């Protein structure tokens, strides 16, 4: 697997609407694996293709299923991680309830912001093999999905933030 370079503002690709994924070939499978590896290395919980300079409607999401679980690589029972692949995703339903939460972004290092997002969403898209999938997500997962899907439309969390600040070391 290959660690990809994550682009930062003001790279123009971060402001462009990405194109639909139409080919589900070996190159796409490798790209998805590389994106997970790049996201883990960064480290982050989500990564969209435009962030690695590819104008594709593709994002990956991965985080600890139990945020309280220690992440001990040497453990016999490593904590479970939730993993999602979003290809050509669309929000088909969003809760009326919205919540404020703190977000950061691998493409805007050192900056955090408070962003209002839907508490729950339903997303349809395709899996890595081009088969239709639907996800009903809420809370932290819904926030990550919305953040990554915004990247596919050239929207950054700072565009939606009600407050933005320079991160302190302990916040990063």
- Is the separation of the CB atoms in 136 and 81 below 8 Å? no
Residue with tokens 């050509």: 88
27 is catalytic: no
User: What are the angstrom distances between the C-alpha of 120 and each of 27, 50, 93, 99, 145?
Assistant: 33, 24, 8, 10, 10
- Is the separation of the CB atoms in 23 and 33 below 8 Å? no
Dist. CA 84–CA 60, nearest whole Å: 6
Residue 51 neighbours by CB distance under 10 Å: 27
Task: Kindly name the residue from 148, 169, 170, 171 that is annotated as catalytic.
Answer: 148
Give the three-class secondary structure for 40: helix
* Residue whose C-alpha is closest to residue 50's, from 98, 5, 85, 80: 5
Catalytically annotated residues: 148
């Amino acid at each position: 697997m290959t660690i990809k370079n994550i682009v930062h503002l003001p790279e123009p690709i971060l402001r462009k609407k990405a194109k639909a994924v139409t080919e589900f070939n070996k190159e796409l499978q490798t790209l998805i694996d590389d994106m997970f590896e790049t996201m883990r290395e960064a480290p982050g919980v989500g990564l969209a293709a435009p962030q690695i300079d590819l104008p594709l409607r593709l994002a990956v999401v991965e985080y600890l299923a139990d945020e309280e679980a220690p992440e001990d690589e040497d453990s016999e029972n490593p904590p479970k991680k939730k993993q999602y692949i979003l290809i050509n995703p669309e929000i088909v339903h969003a809760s009326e309830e919205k919540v404020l939460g703190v977000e950061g972004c691998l493409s805007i290092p050192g900056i955090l912001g408070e962003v209002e997002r839907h508490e729950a969403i339903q997303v349809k898209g395709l899996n890595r093999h081009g088969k239709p999938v639907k996800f009903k997500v809420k809370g932290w997962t819904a926030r990550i999905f919305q953040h990554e899907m915004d990247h596919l439309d050239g929207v950054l969390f700072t565009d939606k933030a009600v407050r933005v600040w320079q991160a302190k070391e302990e916040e990063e």
